[in-house]
Structures are given as structure tokens and as C-alpha cells.
Chains A and B, each alone.
Chain A
Amino acid sequence: MKRFACIFLALVFIMTLAACGGQQNQNSTPTVKQTTNEFGWMIPDVTTKFTMYVGKDNPDKHANRAKAVLPWVKEKFNVEIDSVVYDVDVEQKISLMLAASDYPEVVSSLTEEQALRFVEQKKAVNLAPLMDKHGVNIKKGLEKWKIYSTLLTEDGKLFYLPRVYGMIYEPDNTAHLRYDWYKKMGSPSCVTPDDYYNIITQMVREHPKNSKGEKVYAISGHEMATWGGESTLAGLAGIWGIKDQYKEDASHNLTHWVNTDEGLAMTKYMNRFNLDGLLDPDMFINKYDDWKQKFSNERIVGHIGPWWNSWNAGHEVWMKTMSDYNPDMRYFQIMLKAPEAERSYMTGKSARATWNQFTIITDKAKKPEAILDWLDFCNTDIGRWIPGYGRPEETPGDGALWKFVNGKPEFTEGPKNDLIKGTIDFDKQIWDRGAVFPLMVCNSTEGVRGNNTSFMYDHAFTDEMESWNKMIAATKDSIYDNTLQKMVQISPSTPLGSKHQQIKDAIISGWAKCIYSKSEAECEKNFQELRDKVNALGLKEIEKFRTDEYKKLLAKY
């Protein structure tokens, strides 16, 4: 019996070993032959699997969008991507990731400073040696915009890639006008800030209250302490010829608008609205949603800020909520230029970091080259349709934004017609199809329909969209290349970074005091106080740092 038991156990042991050995063999020498799919992608025999962090967003919404495209990517490409977002500030999330050493294979939506933090801690993979084999299309794209070298370290290493690179010639900041009211006024010329002031104050006089009897204001603002304020200030300063809040002289010295006469002029301009009782008293309290509600309730007539603000808060709401909506009931965007300014600089664009976000492949990636292969494929002529527009049509009329027929990608008609008609629901018809957000971590801005288009779905049909073309035509002269100035970064985790934040806080708080002043003289006095305060806080030091760094970059590139 004992002997039988020993033989049995020995056999079991040998068979187990053989089975394990067999498994190991299977892993190391693939038996499946690699094939190329209809998109020209060589399907890997072993599934390429990775998790991608793509920033701050609503996780449920994101999961829904990801579900629309990622299972299809797995099925067709054998690439299994887990695209995740968290409803937490990116800075806090990545700090926690780093502290716990718990971060995914791909981390995107990072500022350059945040990406550098991964690099400093040796947690980002050097992609330079892989680029010629696995990142050919990305490299070609970056070189086309002459930005590849700007991403390399002194010793030629490449640790991060731009999330989106290249130029989109759409304005980030514009002045906004209500089209039907403007037409009713006889479409007067609107070129200077004074023209704009006269037109929107006239509109308020004609519509002093909205349909609910609430007071209407000529101008307002939102998220003034963060992105909304940055945008409004950059746009306003741009009207007076200041680039991205810094005035550049002939020797490339940079001076913050607070230290310029132009800064005082734009402050007095905003104060005029207050003196006439036309400035929203909640301008510095409004969150975007508060502002959107007021705007869509027709309580705010004008706006200086991102072009999409008045689209999103204006006609996109009215189309859904108003039974008597007519297509003229919308906003259109223009550039303004102060007579004393040489040119308008309302929107600065950077080809190097269109969204000012970067992507790294981390040391958690077991096969970084396989991930890079996928990202590179997404930069091919066919591949970029996938991160751009999600899954292609499987059955006619399934709502997909594009289809792949006879080896060629093309847009489907339904959503396209809705877009051109202006009746498209962006959330349901575009984003929920898996476009852009789940997969876009390193892509060119370039559109699939030629040079005037971009990767954004709505930008693909700008030729057919009259309102879009009008906006581009009316604002193009205020757009400028700001790549080098945007490359100057002040790391927030340094003493200068803290100072920078203190100065930003003081500027917003002091500027609010200026524009709500009760007289022009008080406004000037408050402006001088603001200038003195921020200079005492170290604004001159910031100006010097930016100037020195900017000049270094000018000399280098």
C-alpha cells in the first residue's frame, strides 16, 4: 500500500512539473502566428494590457464612454486598455500615486512639472531609444511641428510626450456677441473695446430684464481664481497687445500686465461696466455652472473668454429648452483690438502642448515598447480615427461617428448632418461614442480631412459649418504662436512657485477690488495699491525669471 501511495504521489509530482513546464513554454514561445488586421495593425500574439490614467473627470461618465470603444479595441487589436479617471484634482491624485508607489503603466494629463516629478524619481521610461522602432509616427509628427528636440533632455532622453501636439487655429479667448440682437441693431462695426462696450451696453438697455424679470448684466465671469480667470485676463490683456498676460518688448523682456499702462487701461475698462451698474456683482463668486445658468437665462449679454463658453451656455441650451428657438439665437465670436495696441493677442497657441498636458509611460510597464506601438498606431492615418472618434459603425445607423468600408475610413452621415444643422447633442452623440477622452494620450491636432480641420469631431466639418467659419475668420488675427513662452514653467513646489501662487491670488483679489471701485479715481488708486502689493510680494522676481528663461529658449530654438 505504502509503495503504491509513493508511486502515485511521484506520478502526480512529475505530471504537475510537466504541466508547469508546458505553461512556461507556452508563455515564452507563442504558438499563435501574428496577423495584421484590416486596419493595418499587427495583432500581438500576447494581449497588450495596460492601465491609463487620463486625468480628472466623472468616473461613471468616463466608464460609459470607455465602454463604447475599449472592448472593441480589445477584440480587434488584442490591446486591453483600462482607461481611468478620478474625480480628484490631478495634483493630489498623482501625489498619492507617487507616495503609495501605486500608479498605472501610462499616466497622462500631467503638467510638465508633474511629469518631471515622475522623471526625477526614475519612474518614467526613457522612450528615446524606442522611438525609431516603436514610435516612428509620433516622432514624425513631433518633428513636423519642430518640437521633438524641445522634449529631449540635455543628454538626449525622452521621458514624456505631449498629450495633444500641433496647432489648432481656433481661438481660446474671444469677445462674444449675441447674434440676433446684434443683427437687430444693424450689425454695427465692432473692432475696438469701446465698440464692444457700446454694443453690449446698448443690448442691456434694450433688454434690462430677462423673461423672469431678473436684472441683466453686460458682462460677468466665472471660475476667476482658476482657469476662467486666466482665460478672461489673457483675453482682455490680449486686446491691449499683451501676450498671455506678459508684455514683450523688442528685447524680449517680459513685463506682467499689472506693471503696464495697458493693464491699467483694461482694468479701467472693466470698471466702466461697474460704474454703469452693468458688471455682474457675482463675477468672482460664479462657478462655471452658476455662470452658465445665468447666461442661458439671458442675464449676461457679453463675455470675454473661451469661445465655447457661450456656445455651451447659450444656443446649445436654448436649442434643447426653447420651443420657439431660431438659429439666429446664438453667440458669435470676434477679436477686439485697442487702438493703441499694435495687434491683438487674445489667444496664444502652443504646438508643443496644445492642452498643456503630457503623457508618460511608467516603470510599471513590463513592455513599454508594446504600449508605444499602440500609441504610435494611433498616430497613423487610420489609427488616429480611433482615439479621435471612438468605435466605427458596426451596423448601419448605430450612431457611430465613422465607418470603415473597403479599407477606408469615412464619416457616417447621421451625426454629421446633426452637427452641420447645429442640432447635435455633444454628450450623447460624440463623447458617449468614446471619442477623445478614453484613448487620447498622445495625438496630433491634425484633422483627418485636411489642414483646416482638427482631431475634434466638430472641427472635421468646419467647411460646412457657417458659424464656425465665421468665428475663425473673425478671430484669426488675434491668434499667435506662444510655444516658447508656454515652455517657461515655474515649479509650484519651489519657493518661487509658492510666491507665484501668492501673487496670482493677490492679483485676482486686488483686481476684483479695482474693477468694483466706485469711481475711476478709486480704481486707479486701487490699481496702484495692487501693483505695489504684488511687486512687494516678488512679481519683479517672477518677471526676471520668465524673461531669463524665455531668452534662453529663444536662443536655443
Chain B
Amino acid sequence: MLRTLYKERQLWIISVPIIVWVLIFWYYPMYGLYIAFTKYFPGQDILSSPWVGLDNFILFFRSPDFWNIIRNTLAISGLNILFGFPAPIILALLLTELTGSRFKKVVQTVSYLPYFISWVVLASILFNLLGNDGIVNQILKSIGAVEDSIPFLSSGKNFWWVITGANLWKNVGWNTIIYLSAIAGIDPELYDAGKADGLGRFRAIWYITLPGIRTTLVLLMILSISGILNAGFEQQLLIGNPQTIEYHEVVDTYAYRFGIQLGNYSYATAVGFFKSTIGLVLIFAANRVSKKIFDVSIF
């Protein structure tokens, strides 16, 4: 162990600032998790707050909203993975197939742009597009497709699809970057050999590109699964409204509204801790499954 450390000393020295940074900003604040097990009020000393054990967790599990929140979180995350995971792969494959480099750059830039738009602006765009008086409803009405406006934003049932669409539009371009770089790492000679063996474009994608980026795909899949309880936050708060609350409340917004806004910091921490624990379990499970099936893992 010591010999290995000594051998890799240059690497360790380079890593020291990062390790210190991780320790200070990622591990040290974790002592705050203690308040999940106490009745803490801001201003009190954390360690002298009254110990309540698992009460905050039990309160959350027994909350009448619990299953609704879990359902919404899983549904929104599930839809994000279902559509949001393959979409950048498909876009990256399509971009790789483009031959005109100028056009390719324009498409890439245009597809990245939404990522830089804040949710506040995006929410405003959505209201103008999909509101009861929005452009989409106006067009539908003007062509006689509907008589009354479709309540895209004020109907809970539509909310999951609206939020999935918004997430997809915002992130698809940005998420292609990692796949484009993975594709760029594939040896071009493989494509030449494939061509010589009579592979067409689609078959080259299937037999060369996708296997070539398999490791990246699996790693990102593992990470997405571990973040399945991260179903969004700002988008729900900004686009959601009282009519959609049954469908838009997710773990993070619940922790914010019932924890931070009502001053229940211990409760908010317990809810957040629960979410992190599930994420940790999922990452181990997904890593194990992936190791077994694809022989690829992140640790």
C-alpha cells in the first residue's frame, strides 16, 4: 500500500487540492445530516438539538402525500430516462452522419442553446406557447381542431408530458457532447473495414458505433438510474400550479415546501437523506447488474 502510494506520489500530490476540496465541501457538510434525527431550529446548536430518532423519517413515510410524491418522482424520472436517455444518443449518431461540417456545427450549436436558457425563461416560453391563450391553442382553434383551449399547463394529466418534453428540449443537445466525444474515439479504420465488408450506414452504426460507445452508454445509464429520485425542482416550482400539484410534487419540491419554507429543517434533511440513500442503493445495484451483464462497471 505504502509502496504503491510512494510510486504514485506525483499523481497523489497533484490530487491533493481536489481531495481537500472534496473533504471540505462534500464530506464535512455531511455532519449536518445529524439534524435529520433531531428537532432542530435554525439558531440552535446542532449537537444540542433534542434527539428524535427516526421520527422525521416516519412522519414522511406516513405522510398522506408519500406515495403520491414517490409516484410522481418515479414517473417523471422514468419518462426522462425513457426519452431523455436515447434521444442524445440518436442525435449524436445523426450528427456524426452529417457530412457538411458547417451545417453540422450550426445544428450542434442550435441544439446546445436551450441548455443555457434558465428555467425561469423557459417557463415563460412555455406559458406563451402552451397557455390557454398560448400560440399552440390559438393555432389549434384557428384551424378548427379544437373548440376550447387544451389545458396543457393546467391539467395534471398533461403535466408529466409537458415536463418531459421541456427537459428533453433543454438537455438533448448538451447531452450529445459526451456521446460525440465517445464516437470520435472509435478507430476510423473499423468503419473502413466495415465498408469493405459491405456494411451500410445503419449496420455500421449497429455493429461498430454502438459497441464502440457501449462503455459510455452503460456508465451513463448507471448514473441516470442512481439519480432516479432527482426528478427536477425548478421546473416543477415554475411550471406547476395548484391544479397540477397532484402530479408535479416530487421529493425535492416536497422537501423544499414542507421543510425549508415551513422552517422544518430536520424534516427537509430527513427527506433529502432518504432520497440520497435510495440513490446510493440504486447505484450499487445498477453497477452490479451492469458488471454481470455487460462486464462494465464504475467501481
Interface residues of A (CB under 8 A from B): 89, 91-92, 94-99, 101, 117, 120-121, 123, 214-215, 224-225, 229, 277, 281-282, 284-285, 492-493, 495, 497-498, 501-502, 505, 508-509, 512-513, 516, 536-537
* B263 partner, pick from A91, A121, A285, A505, beta carbons under 8 A: A91
User: Is A498 within 8 A of B267, CB to CB?
Assistant: yes
Cβ contacts B64-103/A at 8 Å (1 or 0 each): 1100000000000000000000000000000000000000
User: Is B132 within 8 A of A493, CB to CB?
Assistant: no
Residues of B contacting A: mostly: loop
Report 25 cross-chain contacts, Cβ distance below 8 Å, ordered by A residue: A89-B261, A91-B261, A91-B262, A91-B263, A95-B42, A95-B260, A95-B263, A96-B42, A98-B42, A117-B43, A117-B263, A120-B41, A121-B44, A225-B241, A277-B148, A281-B151, A282-B131, A282-B133, A285-B153, A495-B59, A498-B59, A498-B264, A498-B267, A505-B245, A516-B243
Residue B161 at the A interface, CB < 8 A?
A: no
CA distance A94 to B260 in the complex (A): 11
B151 nearest in chain A by CB position: A281
Cβ contacts B236-260/A at 8 Å (1 or 0 each): 0000011101100000000001101
What chain B residues lie within 8 Å of A495 (beta carbons)?
59
CA distance A281 to B243 in the complex (A): 11
Q: A502-B63, A502-B64 are contacts. A281–B149 as well, Cβ < 8 Å? A: yes
CA distance A277 to B243 in the complex (A): 18
User: Is B262 within 8 A of A493, CB to CB?
Assistant: yes
What chain A residues lie within 8 Å of B258 (beta carbons)?
498, 501-502
Q: A121-B43, A281-B132, A285-B131 are contacts. A492–B263 as well, Cβ < 8 Å? A: yes
Residue B179 at the A interface, CB < 8 A?
A: no
Residue B111 at the A interface, CB < 8 A?
A: no
List the 5 closest pairs (A to B, CB-CB), nearest first. A98-B43, A99-B42, A492-B262, A98-B42, A508-B242
* B43 partner, pick from A99, A214, A215, beta carbons under 8 A: A99
A114 nearest in chain B by CB position: B263
CA distance A117 to B42 in the complex (A): 9
What chain B residues lie within 8 Å of A536 (beta carbons)?
64
Residue B108 at the A interface, CB < 8 A?
A: no
User: Is B43 within 8 A of A123, CB to CB?
Assistant: yes
Residue B265 at the A interface, CB < 8 A?
A: yes
CA distance A94 to B261 in the complex (A): 11
Additional pairs, 15, CB under 8 Å, beyond known A95-B265, A492-B262, A502-B64: A92-B260, A99-B42, A214-B133, A225-B241, A284-B154, A493-B262, A493-B264, A498-B262, A498-B267, A501-B258, A508-B242, A508-B245, A509-B245, A513-B243, A537-B64
What chain A residues lie within 8 Å of B154 (beta carbons)?
281-282, 284-285
B60 nearest in chain A by CB position: A498
Cβ contacts B251-287/A at 8 Å (1 or 0 each): 0000001101111110100000000000000000000
Residues of A contacting B: mostly: helix
B143-184 CB contacts (< 8 Å) to partner A: 148-149, 151, 153-154
B266 nearest in chain A by CB position: A493
Nearest-neighbour CB distance to chain B for A384, whole angstroms, equals 33
What chain A residues lie within 8 Å of B127 (beta carbons)?
285
What chain B residues lie within 8 Å of A101 (beta carbons)?
43
B131 nearest in chain A by CB position: A282
Interface residues on B, range: 20 to 34
Nearest-neighbour CB distance to chain A for B50, whole angstroms, equals 12
What chain A residues lie within 8 Å of B265 (beta carbons)?
95
What chain B residues lie within 8 Å of A512 (beta carbons)?
242-243
B16-43 CB contacts (< 8 Å) to partner A: 41-43
What chain A residues lie within 8 Å of B257 (beta carbons)?
501
Interface residues of B (CB under 8 A from A): 41-44, 59, 63-65, 127, 131-133, 148-149, 151, 153-154, 241-243, 245-246, 257-258, 260-265, 267
What chain A residues lie within 8 Å of B242 (beta carbons)?
224-225, 229, 284, 505, 508-509, 512
What chain B residues lie within 8 Å of A513 (beta carbons)?
243
What chain B residues lie within 8 Å of A492 (beta carbons)?
262-264
What chain B residues lie within 8 Å of A282 (beta carbons)?
131-133, 154
Nearest-neighbour CB distance to chain A for B239, whole angstroms, equals 10
CA distance A94 to B262 in the complex (A): 12
What chain A residues lie within 8 Å of B153 (beta carbons)?
285
User: Is B245 within 8 A of A92, CB to CB?
Assistant: no
A511 nearest in chain B by CB position: B242
Nearest-neighbour CB distance to chain A for B287, whole angstroms, equals 36
CA distance A449 to B159 in the complex (A): 54
What chain B residues lie within 8 Å of A502 (beta carbons)?
63-65, 258
What chain A residues lie within 8 Å of B44 (beta carbons)?
121
Of the listed residues A91, A123, A229, the one surrounded by the most CB atoms of chain B closer than 10 A to its CB is A91
Nearest-neighbour CB distance to chain A for B137, whole angstroms, equals 10
User: Is A501 within 8 A of B262, CB to CB?
Assistant: yes
What chain B residues lie within 8 Å of A501 (beta carbons)?
257-258, 262
User: Is A285 within 8 A of B241, CB to CB?
Assistant: yes
CA distance A277 to B148 in the complex (A): 9
What chain A residues lie within 8 Å of B267 (beta carbons)?
498
User: Is A117 within 8 A of B243, CB to CB?
Assistant: no
CA distance A447 to B43 in the complex (A): 39
A282 nearest in chain B by CB position: B132
What chain B residues lie within 8 Å of A498 (beta carbons)?
59, 63, 258, 262, 264, 267
What chain A residues lie within 8 Å of B132 (beta carbons)?
281-282
A123 nearest in chain B by CB position: B43
Of the listed residues A97, A214, A498, the one surrounded by the most CB atoms of chain B closer than 10 A to its CB is A498
What chain B residues lie within 8 Å of A505 (beta carbons)?
242, 245
CA distance A344 to B154 in the complex (A): 32
What chain A residues lie within 8 Å of B149 (beta carbons)?
281
A117 nearest in chain B by CB position: B41
Nearest-neighbour CB distance to chain A for B271, whole angstroms, equals 11
User: Is A121 within 8 A of B41, CB to CB?
Assistant: yes
CA distance A281 to B267 in the complex (A): 35
CA distance A498 to B258 in the complex (A): 7
CA distance A493 to B259 in the complex (A): 8
B156 nearest in chain A by CB position: A509
B64 nearest in chain A by CB position: A537
What chain B residues lie within 8 Å of A96 (beta carbons)?
42
CA distance A281 to B146 in the complex (A): 15
A503 nearest in chain B by CB position: B64
Q: A98-B42, A509-B243 are contacts. A493–B263 as well, Cβ < 8 Å? A: yes
What chain A residues lie within 8 Å of B133 (beta carbons)?
214-215, 282
Nearest-neighbour CB distance to chain A for B270, whole angstroms, equals 12
Nearest-neighbour CB distance to chain A for B246, whole angstroms, equals 6
User: Is B64 within 8 A of A509, CB to CB?
Assistant: no
CA distance A470 to B112 in the complex (A): 59
Nearest-neighbour CB distance to chain A for B122, whole angstroms, equals 16
